[in-house]
Amino acid sequence: MILDTTKRTPSAALPIPSLDQTISRYLERIQPLLSEEKYAAGKTVAENFLKNSGALLHAQLLEYGASLEEGSWLKPIWDEAFLGYREPINGTMNYSTVLDTEQIPKGNSFAEFCARLVFAMVNTHQEIASGAQEKDIGPSGHLCMEQYDNVFGACRIPRPEKDEFFSGGGRLKDASVVVLHGGNIYLLPVVKDNKTVGVSSLALGIGEILGRKDSPAPNIGIMTTAPRESAAKLRNHITALDARNEENFKKIESALFALCIDGEPQKERTEHQLIRDVLHGNGKDRWFDKSMQAIVGADYSIGFNNEHTGFDGAIWINIQWNT
């Protein structure tokens, strides 16, 4: 597993809450959702768990937590659960959000609309990478910020038995975004000499991509919708064909994020159809292994599809809100 931790001071060991506290909070949260009869039954089950197998499991968890010098006791378990998952990740593990774009300026062209989104996202990355980002605060004080390093320049990589998670981390002198459009994959420079490329230059680059008449290439991105063992075999097969394929994979995997530009939308596309397109897509112009895909429709819709391994939903909501 490749993770850049040079930018964050290692956190103290995450305390494990008492089982009594966990059960109490669980019962508090289910009570408004259940009838009195079902709540009483659930309470009995929870109390029996607390006295029997729960006590044994909690003791084992405390022993495991004590063996860690620092960091989160949950992280190794999280990584194993997510990276060891062998089913397709699109629509099952990945999650998505759709923006309300009514209040977002459309710009002078669709290319500029896309460029403004890219510019905002890259600036957010630069803020995170430089350490200028405002720290998250919870009821008990400052929260761990490590997961923010896994949003940009990150990607899940299919491997046999257990996948790998790559995070480039850090601020880059030069960086690109991978653009998927019309059945082809392009690189769009977005950072040059430590400076974010301006909106007008980004719009020119995106406009050039939109205006190309290239025939669709083989749909390599479809492998990211396959069961993970199949995806790993496909990646190994493709890289064995030509050394340049491995280089191209690395360019995609290390890009800050994927910008997926869909063509003409269906007439009268419903909200349900939009959500389906962002969550699942149709097998084209997607790379579901990327930690972040920004999906822009020709109807000026904006959605995001996130691979779940590197960061939780709360991290992404904070990024969306601040951007």
Using alpha carbons, select from 292, 298, 310, 306 the residue that is nearest to residue 120.
Answer: 292
For residue 51, the enclosing domain spans 19-70
Does residue 238 share a domain with residue 290?
yes
- Rounded to two decimals, the pTM is 0.88
Same domain, 115 and 25: no
Residues found in the chain: 323
CATH number at residue 293: 3.30.559.70
Same-domain pairing of 223 and 260 = yes
> How many domains does the structure of the chain reveal?
2
62 and 202 Cβ atoms separated by less than 8 Å: no
Question: Tens of pLDDT along the chain (323 residues)?
Answer: 233 333 444 445 678 899 999 999 999 999 999 999 999 999 999 999 999 999 999 999 999 988 887 778 888 899 999 999 999 999 899 999 999 888 887 778 999 999 999 999 999 999 999 888 888 887 777 788 889 999 999 999 999 999 999 998 677 889 999 999 999 999 999 999 989 999 999 999 999 999 999 999 999 999 999 999 999 999 999 999 999 999 999 999 999 999 999 987 666 678 899 999 999 999 999 999 999 999 999 999 999 999 999 998 889 988 887 77
Task: Identify whether 83 is part of a domain.
Answer: no
Same domain, 41 and 161: no
Residue 33 and residue 122 share a domain: no
Question: Of 280, 286, 252, whose CA–CA distance to 90 is shortest?
Answer: 280
Indicate left, alpha or beta for 193 from its phi (over 0: left) and psi (-120 to 50: alpha): left
Same domain, 29 and 128: no
Same domain, yes or no, for 57 and 101? Answer: no
What amino acid is encoded at 158 in this protein? Answer: P
C-alpha to C-alpha distance for 127 and 171, rounded to whole angstroms:
9
